[in-house]
Chains A and B, each alone.
Chain A
């Protein structure tokens, strides 16, 4: 059983479009959810955390959490070529920190 699942992509969107990234998790008791961005050969960089059901906005990023469906998503508005990276969903479940395999996002100029 995979603790965190993501579509590996690549997800290609044109510059200026909305990119939608999705993640599901298996531990129904999970309380903390995170989105990280990872450029090739670099370390994960925290973008957002979310703890409550609903939406959380930070600039061009919106995280959405639905605990009943065990689903987390990240929307990136006005996507830029510099947003091209792998986006990692991370969840604290079973008292451990689990990352998904990541979704590769390609923003085309």
Chain B
């Protein structure tokens, strides 16, 4: 069964450093999303992406964040200058054109900012 994959599973970085989180969505899906979940808190929407541009973004997704689809398979989330409060689990999700609101989640990347 096709699935969303994410790398790395765990990323440790120093405050102020840039990180890139990588996702490979399900191959025939065209809608992509990033979410984050701070430990013990709810899953929060960050951004949705379709047709090589951002469709929607939340208040969390400020200028420190960017997304990119650098090739036909990868979808990345970049955090330019990490802060301690960026420590969280980051989930990528994708959906297809038939049911754009049915999203399938990857296993997540745990980001730890020291």
Residues of A within 8 A of B (CB): 32, 34, 38, 42-46, 49, 88, 90, 92, 95-102
Contacts and interface: CB of A to CB of B under 8 A. Distances in A.
B49 interface: no
Which of under 10, 10 to 19, 20 to 34, or 35 or more describes the interface residues of B?
A: 10 to 19
Contacts, number: 44
A65 to B, nearest CB: 14
15 contacts: A34-B101, A34-B102, A38-B43, A42-B108, A43-B91, A44-B43, A44-B91, A46-B102, A49-B101, A90-B43, A97-B33, A97-B48, A97-B101, A99-B45, A102-B42
A45 B43 contact: no
Contacts of B45: 96-99
B104 interface: yes
B41 A97 contact: no
Interface centre among B42, B58, B107, by most A CB within 10 Å? B42
B18 interface: no
Given A42-B107, A46-B104, A46-B105, 17 more contacts: A44-B91, A44-B105, A45-B105, A46-B102, A46-B103, A88-B42, A96-B45, A96-B58, A97-B33, A97-B45, A97-B101, A99-B35, A99-B43, A100-B42, A101-B41, A101-B42, A102-B42
